[in-house]
Structure 1
């Protein structure tokens, strides 16, 4: 069951890379290199993710979910929120001109 959002979000959701950088790395005592080695990916891909320059992929969500003991959906939902926010900002004017359809 999901709870519908009744108010528009006024700020960009937190990028999964920021969550990793601010919460997970310090809590687990990890460095960028340590996280990359533990997840089995390159240091560059982790660095780009932490800086918000790379979107979190489903494959990375599976790796991080396994590594930190949470669900891959946690990571994918965080990325989805960022993606939807960015798209909504990009299409704000165009979306306003789209008229919703009605069932006849």
Structure 2
């Protein structure tokens, strides 16, 4: 039986579309609330950086959810991405042999 592959959504997208946009917050405004740089938050919401434990604490304090919730979302994304990369590399390896 083949495993169902769902969309792998970066936690930054969840933050952007479920928190910032409904609240009509710009990246600059949200970064001030989180006491972080605009660049740092921009990298997160654009999927270029991961949420760290420190950032999970900040997001939890400002927007809700637990730090563990935010970190589990990040971990799930990272694991799915690693699985995708592993599958691609394994396919190349076995096809070349």
TM-score between the two structures when normalised by the length of structure 2: 0.82
Q: Give unpaired runs (5+ residues) of structure 2.
A: none
Q: Which residue of 2 is the match for residue 80 of structure 1? A: 75
**What is the alpha-carbon distance in structure 1 between the residues aligned to residue 72 and residue 4 of structure 2?**
15
Local SS of the residue matching 1:64: helix
CA contact (8 A) 1:65 1:72 kept: yes
TM-score between the two structures when normalised by the length of structure 1: 0.77
RMSD: 1.9
Q: Deviations over 1:65-95 (max 9, x none)?
A: 111121011111110111001111122228x
Count how many residue pairs are aligned between Structure 1 and Structure 2.
Answer: 89
Among 29, 45, 53, the residue aligned to 2:48: 53
Q: Deviations over 1:27-81 (max 9, x none)?
A: 2221100110000000000011111001111111010011112101111111011
Q: Give unpaired runs (5+ residues) of structure 1.
A: 1-6, 98-104
Runs of 4+ in structure 1 displaced over 3 angstroms? none
